[in-house]
Amino acid sequence: MKVLVVDDKQMMRDGVGTTLQRAGYQVVTASNGRLALEQIARHEPTVVVTDLKMPEMDGVELLAHLRESDPGLPVVLMTAFGTVDVAVCAMKQGAFDFVQKPFDGDQLVTTVHRAVEHRRLINRENTPQQPEATSGEHRSVLVGQSPVMKQLSAQAKQIAQSHGTVLVTGESGTGKEVVSRMIHSQSPRADKIMLCVNCAALSSSLLESELFGHEKGAFTGAEKLRKGRFELADGGTLLLDEISEISPQLQAKLLRVLQEQGFERVGSSETMRVDVRVVATTNRDLSQSVADGSFREDLFYRLNVLPLRLPPLRDRLDDIPLLVEHFIERVAYREGVETKTFDDEAVAVLQAYHWPGNVRELQNICERASVLTSDPVISGGLVQPWLTGRREDAASRADASSGCRRLEDVERDQIVQTLGQFNGNRQRTAAALGIGVRTLGLKLKKWKEMNLVAQTI
């Protein structure tokens, strides 16, 4: 897949290009809109990522040219502070999406992935006889052999075989999208399309058009009919990421789709009927959102048909060696280099950490270690400095002053109490709590070193 990156600043072109190349894309560049049109004619990219402000021809003018010459070519805008309104107007004129500077690499790659999917959908509409293969970047697996992960994997496989709505919850970075894609890939809809919408990334009006589509002339800039994600995902799966962030008005419309499998495009009174399986994800406690009135109770129950909660990494420390091996191999394959290994000391350092960023943070650590050392074996001394600077001292003081108890304190009390019930037997304690014996031992070791539990435990 080729991506054209358009920006008048060489440093930005290089940075964006490197990020996309690491994600597996071929990248061509141009310094303004006029040169971009030449590159498009020469290379036929799948997606265009362009800055808004450029000399000779800016991003908006480039978008206008492309809407005439190739309306199906997705254009992602890079916008700086103060130009977001322009980007939103450009989206109404046909831009696929925008990212606001400064943005991180994951955000950009995710947006480009979605744009590629959008392009494939357009091609699929033109050649409906051709089944769409699942792209390599979306092959998802669950890594881990801890008791909690074995239980999660079995539950996810069981859920995958049904057609019911799924609600995947868990802290940020626990892998909710990975699990969602795995559910689709093992479902009866696996040979159909799976689309993803980040509900937190778009305004309410743009999200409504993204989900349900719009008719030509429905609003200023709606120059042609646009199909929404529900319509495009007919027969397949639609992933609604960060479902808790949608507005009350859209919550009502989404409830109707889930109840009746029907909706109207923006600007139309004709009801469209679709067969779409919805998988929703959130890092919030939706039951609490219902209690405080920010989320509809009836929609919560419609989403919570098949609930699946992902554990934080601190509750599955036994899986860290397997996760490290998985991430290191992925980096080596992507970069075309020899696979490195973490020595026992490095693994022990990782397993003693509390992982506020969960699996995503571990993935970043593995990539950083792979890139920043030429040694085939990664030592604990290299990894340790990246972890010790993110302790919870400030948070602990803040929580103490507010009178609230931290989750880790509650967890520690529960473990100590359960350990006492089984007269110090760690195997029985771990089995009762649903965690591994090694995970239990590492937690107790850390708490002893911090003098938070008795040394005799």
- Least confident range from 34-38, 282-286, 393-397: namely 393-397
CA distance 177 to 43: 32
Sequence-separated (6 or more) residues with CB below 8 Å from residue 423: none
Three-state DSSP at 266 gives strand
Bridge partners, residue 266, by sequence: 214
Percentage of the chain exceeding pLDDT 90: 32
Max avg pLDDT among 195-199, 214-218, 384-388 = 195-199
Q: In this predicted structure, what is the pLDDT of residue 167?
A: 96
Task: Indicate the range of 59-73, 85-99, 152-166 predicted with least confidence.
Answer: 85-99
Distance CA(406)–CA(397), nearest Å, equals 10
Amino acid 447: pLDDT: 78
- The more confident residue out of 407 and 128 is 407
How much is the average pLDDT of 431-446?
80
Identify the pLDDT of residue 137: 39
Q: Which position has the higher pLDDT, 154 or 72?
A: 154
pLDDT at residue 300 is higher than 90: yes
- For residue 418, pLDDT over 50 is answered with yes
pTM score over 0.75: no
Beta strands of 243-397 (E only): which ranges? 262-264, 271-273, 277-282, 306-309, 341-342, 377-378
The fold for domain 313-390 equals: Helicase, Ruva Protein; domain 3 (1.10.8)
Contact 296, 255 (CB under 8 A): yes
- Of residues 82 and 260, which shows the higher confidence score? 260
Write out pLDDT tens, residues 234-268.
899 999 999 998 988 899 999 999 988 888 888 88
Residues 5 and 28: their CA atoms lie apart, in Å, by 6
Domain with CATH 3.40.50.300 in the chain: 139-309
Confidence bin at 92 (pLDDT 50/70/90): confident
Is pLDDT of 127 > 60?
Answer: no
Question: Per-residue pLDDT tens for 347-396?
Answer: 999 999 999 889 999 999 998 888 888 889 999 888 888 885 444 443 44
pLDDT score of 405:
53
CATH number belonging to the domain at 393-449, selected among 3.40.50.800, 1.10.10.60, 1.10.540.10, 3.40.50.1220: 1.10.10.60
The set of residues, in sequence order, having a beta carbon less than 8 Å from that of 143 and lying 6+ positions away, is 149, 319, 322, 323, 326
What CATH number has the domain spanning 2-124? 3.40.50.2300
Is the confidence at residue 69, as pLDDT, over 70? yes
Higher pLDDT, 296 or 337: 296
The average pLDDT across 169-193 equals: 91
**C-alpha torsion sign, points 355, 358, 362, 364:** negative
The distance from CA 12 to its chain's CA centroid, rounded to whole angstroms, is 24
Instruction: Average the pLDDT over 389-411 and give the result.
Output: 50
Query: Is 119's pLDDT higher than 60?
Result: yes
Question: With bands split at pLDDT 50, 70 and 90, how would you rate the model's confidence at 339?
Answer: confident
- Domain(s) labelled CATH 1.10.8.60 in the chain stretch across 313-390
Residues of the chain with CATH 1.10.10.60: 393-449
pLDDT at residue 135 tops 70: no
CA–CA distance, 91 with 107 (Å, rounded to integer) = 18
- Per the prediction, the chain carries an average pLDDT of 83
Cβ count near 216 (within 10 Å) = 11
Higher pLDDT, 260 or 221: 260
User: Which CATH number is correct for 139-309, 3.30.2310.20, 3.10.20.600, 3.40.50.300, 3.40.50.2300?
Assistant: 3.40.50.300
